[in-house]
A = this chain, B = another copy of it.
């Protein structure tokens, strides 16, 4: 059972394949299980490391623990040290992108390339209040309420509508996932993001960075990724069209293609 302890809390991880390391940082509702589909394509020539943040998946959910993103950043560092990795590519989506950004600023020397999908540099008051709505819904402990209040906005309206049967099926699965334990952990994860604001430090990111957004992302709208792109020197920016916040589920091929493509070459090209 691949796990390590951080401050006496269990942190769960999985490793696939051989080659340059790529650590995958989950979105807030995700766990290592969410990446099953992608492992074969991502790990062909890479060492892919999945990992559950504190309060996610099989990692500990310490109900009496008040924390911010800082803690997750240190958990990530501990994992990298535990795995004896000196330098790694880091991918993060949404919550995971936020941790990735902060890690790349605080622990520069550990990072090779940075891949930021559907994420933001700042929990705006708008996003904070949306989070509060999710917290309110979580505290009803009614899985259907939590689903209705959060999930539709995570998908693009067209995908959700055109694949409604799949969404209904997903709703049934998620209703089993949204237990009291899960929802309490979700509240803590949301709260850990409330004061997040790394905007003024983006210019400290010096590694090769890819930023990917989606035109129907209603949680971290495209202008958030544009902001990151404009403030990280020489970063690359791509947009997945007709796609919402959960880009890996809506456009799995475009998603994997961005990761593999960006990691496929060493030297930056310039025509200028």
**Interface residues, chain A, CB within 8 Å of chain B?**
37-38, 40-41, 44, 124-127, 129-130, 132-133, 136-137, 140, 142, 144-145, 148-153, 155, 157-158, 160-161, 163-164, 166-167, 210, 216, 218, 221, 223, 226, 229, 236-242, 248-254, 256-262, 264-265, 267-272
Contacts and interface: CB of A to CB of B under 8 A. Distances in A.
A174 B242 CA distance: 34
B269 A256 contact: yes
Contact of A149 (B40, B149, B161, B248): B149
Nearest to A45: B264
A12 to B, nearest CB: 23
B264 A252 contact: no
Contact of A241 (B151, B167, B239): B239
- Per assembly, the copies of the chain total 4
B130 A137 contact: no
B149 A272 contact: no
22 contacts: A37-B271, A41-B269, A44-B264, A125-B167, A126-B155, A127-B157, A130-B148, A130-B152, A130-B153, A133-B148, A136-B140, A157-B223, A163-B272, A238-B254, A252-B269, A253-B265, A257-B258, A257-B265, A258-B261, A259-B261, A261-B264, A264-B264
Contacts of A161: 124-126
A262 to B, nearest CB: 5
